[in-house]
Amino acid sequence: MIEILPGFLPVFLAGLVVNLEIAFASLVLGLLLGLPLAVSLGAGRALAAPAGSLVGLLRAAPTFVVMFFLLNILPREIQIAGHDIQTGLLAVILANAAYAVAYIADNGLVALRALRAGNMAAAVLFLPNVTRAFFVLTLASSMAAAVGTPEAIFVTLRQAERLPALSDQILLFAFVMLFFGAVLQTVFAIINAVRAAILHRLAPA
């Protein structure tokens, strides 16, 4: 197993970059669409009702199913700003964006209400929440493996199916699980520390 790591690691890390790109693009879309929705949710009933229905629908739509739906209805050849975009990749980004929009709208509304109530500490917590969403999206982006996008889990599965011994395959999976566990636990610990620092700094003396 050890002998495959020098060849596998660069491919795996390149795949991880794809995960981060998917998460970033989904989050940007989530912010662009989720924040106006959050404002609408906090506005009068005429705006809040349709916005609430839309957010409810986005919250209920399973990301994996949305991805397959988009994969099958989007045109095969898509160009954005002169660049050819793989349909599978776009489907994953948009499916994750659906989750991100609902998440940002919900958290944005909480932040907005806190801001109106003058509770700056609660409002600023929106930022670490968005960072947390980014890493949740990074994890969720691994479903792109189902449509052949070469992200980290996809390349791990490809590598595993070529390993002749089952013990090696299990070791490879354990390695990747521990990698994700270590990285994300560290990130979440940092986010929690930042949250605590913000709360501490903004707490009334």
Partner 1 sequence: MRHLIAALLFLAGLATPAQADSAAALQALVDQARARATTQGCEAVPRDSLAGVLCNGHIRVGVRGNYPNFGIADGLGADTRRAGFEIEVARAIAARLGVEARFVTVTPANRIANLVERRVDLVIATMGHTLQRDEQVRFIRPHYYQSTTVVVGDRRLPARNWEQMAGRTVCVPLGNADTLHLVQHGVRLLIFDSPQQLVDALKREICSLAMHDDSFFSNSFADPAFAARFEQKLAVSALPWGMATPPGSDLAAFLDGLSAQWHAEGRFLQAANGFPIARDFLEGQRTLWSSPACTTAGATPAPGCLGEPSDTTLPPTRFAPDVDRFEAWLRNTLGIAITLPMLKTEVAFEAFLRGIVFSLVLVVGSIASTLGLAMLFASALCARPAAARIAARMATGVLQCSPLVLLLFFGYMVASTLVPYSAPVALVIAVVMIGLYNGSSAAQAIGEFHATQRSTSATWPPLRGAIQGAAVQIMSFLVNATKSSAVASMVGVPELLNELTDITSFTSERIMTYSFLLIFYTLLVSLVVTLMRSLQGVFERRAAA
Q: Are 106 and 42 in contact (CB under 8 A)?
A: no
Q: Considering the rule CB under 8 A, would residue 105 count as an interface residue with partner 1?
A: no
Least distance (Å) between residue 205 CB and partner 1: 23
- Of 40-48, 123-131, 168-176, 193-201, which segment contacts partner 1 by CB under 8 A? 168-176
Q: Dmax over Cα atoms in the chain, in whole Å?
A: 63
Least CB distance to partner 1 at residue 73 (A)? 6
CA angle 166-171-176, nearest 5°?
A: 130
Q: Which of 49, 139, 190, 196 binds partner 1 (CB under 8 A)?
A: 139
| 44 binds partner 1 per the rule CB under 8 A | no
Residue 169 has φ and ψ, to the nearest 5°, of -65, -45
In this complex, which beta carbon is closest to partner 1, that of residue 62 or of residue 120? 62
24 or 68, CB closer to partner 1? 68
β-partners of residue 83 are: 80
- Report if residue 24 touches partner 1, rule: CB under 8 A: no
* Pure H helices in the chain: 5-41, 45-60, 63-73, 87-116, 120-124, 126-140, 152-162, 166-202
165 touching partner 1, by CB under 8 A: no
CA separation (Å) from 22 to 16, 101, 141? 10, 15, 6
Q: Which amino acid, one-letter code, is at 81?
A: A
Question: Is residue 64 a contact residue for partner 1 (CB under 8 A)?
Answer: yes
3-class DSSP state for residue 42? coil
* Listed ranges 100-108, 125-133, 156-164, 195-203: which one lies at the site for partner 1 (CB under 8 A): 156-164
Residues that bind partner 1 (CB under 8 A): 57, 59-66, 68-69, 72-73, 76, 139-140, 142-143, 145-150, 153, 156-158, 160-162, 164, 166, 169-170, 173-174, 176-178, 180-181, 183-185, 188
